[in-house]
Amino acid sequence: MAALRGPGLRDAGRASINEASCHIRPVKPKMSDSNRFQRLTRAPADFREDCTPHLEVRDTPSDPLPPATLRDPDLERLVGESRQALKDLQRADGHWIFQFEADATIPAEYILLQHYLGDVDGEVERRIANYLRSIQAPNGGWPLFHDGELDLSATVKAYFALKQAGDDPAAPHMARAREAILARGGAAQVNVFTRIALALFGQVPWHAVPEMPVEIMLLPRWFPFHLAKVSYWSRTVIVPLLILMALKPRARNPRGTRIDELFLRNPESERYPMNATGDALGAFFAGLDKVLRAAGKRFPRGSRQRAIQKAVDFVTPRLNGEDGLGGIFPAMANAVMAFDALGYRRDHPDFVIARRAVDKLLYDRDADTTYCQPCLSPIWDTCLAAHALLEAGEDPDGAALQAATDWLLAREIDEVAGDWTWRRPGLAPGGWAFQYRNDYYPDVDDTAVVVMALDRASDPRTRPAIERATDWILGMQSSNGGWGAFDAENEYYYLNSIPFADHGALLDPPTVDVTARCLSMLAQLGYPREHAAVRRGLDFLRREQEEDGSWFGRWGVNYVYGTWSALGAFNACGEDLSAPHIRKAVAWLESRQRADGGWGEDCATYWPDRRSAAKASTPSQTAWALLGLMAAGEVNGDAVRHGITYLQRAPRDGAKWHELYYTGIGFPRVFYLAYHGYSAYFPLWALARYRNLKRSNERRVAYGM
């Protein structure tokens, strides 16, 4: 591998790059495979803010900024205080972990899981019910993100959970929720996962749910549907769910709770949506679902038992200890229910560890409130905190970063050949997960960011791990030049039209943000732009640029995140910063700066008619915009100065700036995330970078991120 590498970013001397010889002509965006994945989230090219009644742009209460002023002592003090406060949050063994919050769905499902099993911890239930009431919106419903609009599925689950917890249906908050649900067509209109939960409790018939026969487990790899053709999160959720859908167990439901009042008519006679996309392909798959439903009654009993056993054989080695199947709540909860349906005793080791993994996700927000997290984010939090501290001047040989390095090295995945080998057989493992452990599913994004942090810390002990991870990431590049988060070539877009996939996130195709991180890593390690993997990755980024100059953000909200990621990669790879596509991106970021000097982008921007929605500036999105602009050489620009001033003025508490709005995402328009660490390490990172560039009188950032 070393023969393919050139001098690293720090050693090459950025000023020595002949930028004129590297000039890249802008490429008009084409409808690539990744574009097709994103087609439902994008606005038309001629979209204007004043042409849609749904656009919502609100300024924060703060006054518009006066002409930017900056006193270096103030900046130094803020960087120093924030750096120390972030260090103070480090765990004794060297890692960082912050709260990881989603919407009402996961806490509600935890309550429902207890009632499915008939094993209810009254105190935990009471505390989660307090959380659910605390996040109910004034309209009576529950949104997918802070200050969002009512989501029907989340609202039905929250109502059901609260009724299970003993809330009186006549109570004002329950009445408001019920009225909101009925006004939107009733509980029959909820998404597929919610209908499956209701079917397990006997609230809807099983014909309300798309047909997913467990015999899927027996299909050959070449078949149009196979587990290898969907994302890791889909397969870990689907496989135990197939067991449940085959056995059709009934929840114990010890209190006999029903929610018939949420339906407009008898659930047996309701019409349930089966066309996931509303188009011709969706209609075809809806028709195929009817055929499968009729054929399912004729499947041989022996093949069904073989399929169930194959599903168990898939789940068992991937249980992942107390970190759980796939490291995500839906898969863990499905595994617990599947084991119960299969008749596992409560002291069976697999049942015990699966249940323990679910309980590990509980978080006590305060003395009287608990919620269940969708998963845990320690490796992501640790590598990003390390980057921020390194930028802020923390000694890489000091205790804090040495402990973080030790902790990260201990969690390298270098022995397990996970599901990614289905598309990359023979590729040696070498990477990191998102969670504490998730050895079957290392995360390409996490791996790239960990490698950049370890490389920047320059500890010779890390070189073997860096080499292994680099080889793995090179092997995970897809044929279109991009990288997905967990798999390669995961682009079977027709599968997003099957009735089961109404969430539209069955796949893990290459994305701008993950691709940008891989390119940034390769460039920081010294891979030249002429290297085949780098060249193809850069071509992918250029093709994916939006007409307005931004880039789509798949794993962070939204275009600010994607644009920061892309600009960081272009800078690291030595792109001509005066090239039209770079200037267009800079102009877009500058156009989105708000009156208070910050940047903010609403989670609703994933809907085509809400693409420019913004309610308030946020510290994390402001930091991304600043990092993107500085990567594009704009450290001396007015937009950067105003953004830095915004961060200086924004309220904070210790390491964390105040941030209510969600800036993370699981699945566009379906599942959003509040990374509580983002408002700690990203603002510090941006402030420290600004300070460092101004100190050195440099315009070009010397690191991949």
Q: Say whether both 201 and 231 belong to one domain.
A: yes
As for how many domains the chain has, the answer is 2
Q: Which of 318, 350, 372 is the last residue of a domain?
A: 372
**What is the per-residue pLDDT across 392-413, written as a single tens digit (0 to 9) for each?**
999 999 999 999 999 999 999 9
Distances (CA, A) of 197 to 111, 193, 206, 249: 12, 6, 10, 11
Helices (H), 138-279: 152-164, 172-183, 192-200, 232-247
Please give the pLDDT value at position 39. 33
**What is the per-residue pLDDT across 466-515, written as a single tens digit (0 to 9) for each?**
999 999 999 999 999 999 999 999 999 999 999 888 888 999 999 999 99
Which residues carry out catalysis? 445
**Sign, CA torsion 497/503/507/510:** positive
Between CA 50 and CA 61, with CA 56 as vertex, the angle to 5 degrees is 120
* 42 has a pLDDT exceeding 60: no
Could you tell me if residue 279 is inside a domain?
no
**What is the per-residue pLDDT across 105-160, written as a single tens digit (0 to 9) for each?**
999 999 999 999 999 999 999 999 999 999 999 999 999 999 999 999 999 999 99
Could you tell me if residue 131 is inside a domain?
yes
Distances (CA, A) of 358 to 125, 128, 218: 14, 14, 29
The β-bridge relationship of strands 656-657 and 652-653 is antiparallel
Q: Which of 387, 376, 380 is nearest to 682 (CA)?
A: 387
Q: Is the CB of residue 326 less than 8 Å from the CB of residue 318?
A: yes
Please give the pLDDT value at position 3. 35
Could you tell me if residue 272 is inside a domain?
no
Q: Is the CB of residue 227 less than 8 Å from the CB of residue 420?
A: no
Q: Say whether both 114 and 202 belong to one domain.
A: yes
Please give the pLDDT value at position 650. 98
Please give the pLDDT value at position 14. 32
* 18 has a pLDDT exceeding 80: no
CA distance 187 to 201: 14
Please give the pLDDT value at position 71. 52
Overall average pLDDT of the 255-268 stretch:
97
**What is the per-residue pLDDT across 680-692, written as a single tens digit (0 to 9) for each?**
999 999 999 999 9
CA distance 268 to 262: 13
Q: Say whether both 89 and 104 belong to one domain.
A: no
Q: Say whether both 449 and 565 belong to one domain.
A: yes
Distances (CA, A) of 227 to 84, 245, 316, 337, 656: 46, 16, 16, 20, 40
Could you tell me if residue 283 is inside a domain?
no
Q: Which of 426, 435, 397, 431 is nearest to 413 (CA)?
A: 431
Tokens of 425: 């057989």
Scored b (16 or more CB within 10 A) or e, 22-52 reads: eebeeeeeeebbbeebbeebbbeeebeeeeb
Tokens of 221: 């790899």
Q: Say whether both 62 and 112 belong to one domain.
A: no
CB atoms within 10 A of CB 463: 12
Q: Say whether both 141 and 67 belong to one domain.
A: no
Tokens of 354: 């699966």
Q: Say whether both 609 and 504 belong to one domain.
A: yes
CA distance 319 to 357: 9
Q: Say whether both 653 and 511 belong to one domain.
A: yes
Cα–chain center distance at 179:
32
pTM of the model: 0.90
Could you tell me if residue 285 is inside a domain?
no
CA distance 428 to 644: 43
Q: Is the CB of residue 129 less than 8 Å from the CB of residue 161?
A: yes
Please give the pLDDT value at position 2. 37
CA distance 116 to 253: 6
**What is the per-residue pLDDT across 576-604, written as a single tens digit (0 to 9) for each?**
999 999 999 999 999 999 999 999 999 99
CB atoms within 10 A of CB 382: 29
Could you tell me if residue 645 is inside a domain?
yes
Q: Which of 328, 345, 372 is the last residue of a domain?
A: 372
Q: In the chain, how long is the greatest CA-to-CA distance?
A: 77
Helices (H), 411-442: none
Instruction: Using pLDDT thresholds of 50, 70 and 90, give the confidence band for residue 326.
Output: very high
Q: Is the CB of residue 704 less than 8 Å from the CB of residue 520?
A: yes
CB atoms within 10 A of CB 248: 11
* 22 has a pLDDT exceeding 80: no
Tokens of 148: 């969002």
Torsions phi, psi for 321 (to 5 deg): 60, -145
Q: Is the CB of residue 661 less than 8 Å from the CB of residue 145?
A: yes
Q: Is the CB of residue 187 less than 8 Å from the CB of residue 265?
A: no
Helix, strand and coil content of the chain, in percent to the nearest 5, comes to: 55, 5, 40
CA distance 473 to 491: 18
Structural domain containing residue 214: 100-260+290-372
Q: Is residue 470 helix, strand or coil? A: helix
Q: Say whether both 335 and 411 belong to one domain.
A: no
* Mean model confidence pLDDT for the chain: 90
Please count the CA atoms within 13 angstroms of the CA of 534 that sit on its side-chain side.
24
Q: Is residue 29 helix, strand or coil? A: coil
Question: What is the domain-level CATH number for residue 460?
Answer: 1.50.10.20
Could you tell me if residue 281 is inside a domain?
no
Distances (CA, A) of 703 to 27, 254, 569, 605, 628: 26, 57, 10, 30, 13
Instruction: Using pLDDT thresholds of 50, 70 and 90, give the confidence band for residue 222.
Output: very high
Q: Say whether both 142 and 83 belong to one domain.
A: no
Q: Which of 323, 345, 372 is the last residue of a domain?
A: 372
Distances (CA, A) of 4 to 160, 454, 503, 533, 638: 58, 20, 42, 11, 40
Please give the pLDDT value at position 289. 84
Helix H or strand E encompassing 576? none
**What is the per-residue pLDDT across 47-95, written as a single tens digit (0 to 9) for each?**
223 333 333 333 333 445 444 444 588 999 999 999 999 999 999 999 9
Q: Is the CB of residue 526 less than 8 Å from the CB of residue 7?
A: yes
When mean pLDDT is compared across 257-261, 295-299, 349-353, 384-388, the lowest value belongs to 295-299
* 290 has a pLDDT exceeding 80: yes
Could you tell me if residue 357 is inside a domain?
yes
CA distance 40 to 609: 10
**What is the per-residue pLDDT across 645-659, written as a single tens digit (0 to 9) for each?**
999 999 999 999 999
CA distance 416 to 429: 7
Q: Say whether both 205 and 348 belong to one domain.
A: yes
Q: Say whether both 60 and 179 belong to one domain.
A: no
| DSSP 8-state assignment for residue 397 | T
Scored b (16 or more CB within 10 A) or e, 471-493 reads: bbbbbbbbebbbbbbbbbbbbbe
Please give the pLDDT value at position 43. 31
The amino acid present at 590, given as its one-letter code, is E
Please give the pLDDT value at position 298. 73
